[in-house]
Amino acid sequence: MLADRAGGILLHLTSLPGAFGAGDFGTDAYKFVDWLVSANQTYWQVLPLGEIGPGNSPYMSSSAFAGNILLIDLAELANLGWLLHEDLIPHPEFRADRVDFALLHSFRMERLRRAAESFFMSRPDKMHRSYEEFCLAEGEWLEDYALFMTIAERENWREWNHWPKDIALRNSQVLHRLKQDCADKIGFWKFCQWCFARQWSRLKHYANERGVRIIGDVPIFVAYQSADVWSHQKLFELDENGRPFVVAGVPPDYFSETGQLWGNPLYRWDVHKETGYAWWIARLRYALRQADMVRVDHFRGFAAYWEIPADAPNAIVGKWEPGPGEKLFAAFEQAFPRLPIIAEDLGLITPDVLELRDQFKLPGMRVLQFAFGNGEANPFLPHHYVPNTVAYTGTHDNDTSIGWWNSLSDHEKIFARQYLSMDSDSEAINWVMMHALSKSVANIVIFPMQDVLGLSSEHRMNFPGRPTRNWEWRFSWDMIKLEHTLALAEMTTEYGRSGESALK
């Protein structure tokens, strides 16, 4: 349950400035923490930190535990002597405003391989001991992840059910032989995860020391092409050949007339229950080491989820199936002294979802862009909020507030002007909305960085249902004017959101 009022900014790390094609754990991330402090912000909310998947999505990771190694600060590796000066010459086609993921991947992976080779060839020292300690401490997931990535690369990234059958179905003798034959390649993936964990831990510590708390993001589902599904096949709805026969998604909604066919395999919740939800507890424990609080994406799927036949062309044909409900969260309560979880309770929400959220005193989400479509009864209007709420102008799935306003119908604009007490259209709608949320009773308000900067639709982060051109947006430091920082800091102070927030 939330206690105290605070404010924060939603910005994924890839959107930071930086010389090497995307934001990372380098100096610009520390500079952003300093900016958050100067603007009186308490929270930095990020998207999932895992490996990116199809469409460059951070919600389709190859592991529920492994970090995105493209976020590793290459300059730090050079400072440690594992890269040369010429390795840090940026590619001439890198852009400051967009991420070219294909170019980014080839550039960074080449340098990570060079760094790993240098590390393993160097004389054993305290860094080697740190690496070995990491591998031992994280072995429960790291061993399977490193082996999975090694095999996947050898198999040209084909889905694992197309691998040789004895590997796909995890014949223990064959896997043992592979571990011996591919020790160097397996070591590379472990090295990268160690670098990721070291650097992120240092950045998080820097933020926490300055009163900034990290809000992470835990997707409810995992990608089929992941170490988790391959190594825990009994936990997922798969046939005898390892293929999912039903997959995840959502029915037609605000974002899509045909729904969203995500394609993730679904959980065998009865098997999870038999294990005491051990995999989920391990997953949440790891997430809460990476962040101070986590937003659990698609929370409604724990009450009931949309099951779609794996061969369906879209998400229209499907059915609701019951989720684990209170049993899972009761297991969480036993495992953790508190539950620093934000329930992403957006979309088609039924009473059982709200009951599950409130039973465990989890804060829900409210998005102001959803508020002006159907009159005073709309639950997204701020006068309906309760303190145990995290309120947003928009999320990573929404348009920027200026883009949203420009696409609004005349009827909705009239209602919004009246509700928000706008004097004229000359007022900046993004700041009007941020003020409306800041003075609400919601204990936490989060603003996308695009709204602080007053940016239009072309700066949107993600467009649900669109397979390409997502997750690419970046800002540059010259976009942040002194008036942005002062206005945000003053607004935060005015509405009593400058203090350090906490959970009870």
Residue with tokens 């995290």: 390
Tokens 């072995």 -> residue? 139
Strand order in the sheet with 260-265: 260-265, 246-250, 304-309, 319-322
Contacts of 325 (CB under 8 A, 6+ apart): 302, 303, 352, 356
Say which residues have a Cβ less than 8 Å from residue 262's Cβ, sequence separation at least 6: 221, 247, 248, 249, 250
Residue ranges of alpha helices (H) inside 210-277 are 227-231, 269-274
Cα–Cα–Cα angle for 444, 445, 448, nearest 5°? 140
Report CA torsion sign: 486, 488, 494, 498: negative
3-state SS class at 306: strand
**Among this protein's residues, is 28 annotated catalytic?**
no
- Whether 155 sits among the annotated catalytic residues: the reply is no
Buried b / exposed e over 243-255, threshold 16 CB at 10 Å, is ebebbbbbbeeee
Out of 87, 307, 352, 397, the active site residue is: 397
**3-class DSSP state for residue 165?**
helix
Helix and strand totals (H; E) in the chain: 18, 14
Q: CA–CA separation, 54 vs 225, rounded Å?
A: 10
Residues 6+ apart with CB under 8 A from 23: 12, 13, 14, 15, 16, 17, 29, 71, 474
Question: Do 371 and 378 form a contact (C-beta atoms < 8 A)?
Answer: yes
What is the separation of C-alpha 89 from the centre of its chain, rounded to a whole number of angstroms? 29
Strands 341-343 and 444-448: unpaired
Residue with tokens 């995860």: 193
**DSSP-derived 3-state class of residue 451:** helix
Alpha-carbon distance values, 86 to 73, 90, 126, 299 (Å) = 15, 9, 26, 46
Catalytic residue among 297, 399, 451, 472: 297
**Which residue in the list 24, 76, 292, 344 is annotated as catalytic?**
344
Token output for 173: 């003798």
How many residues belong to the chain? 504
**Of 281, 249, 251, 247, residue with least CA distance to 266:** 247
User: Is 153 one of the catalytic residues?
Assistant: no
CB 373 within 8 A of CB 412: yes
DSSP H helical segments within 94-160, as ranges?
101-121, 126-137, 139-154
CA 35 to chain centre: 21
State the catalytic residues. Answer: 297, 344, 397
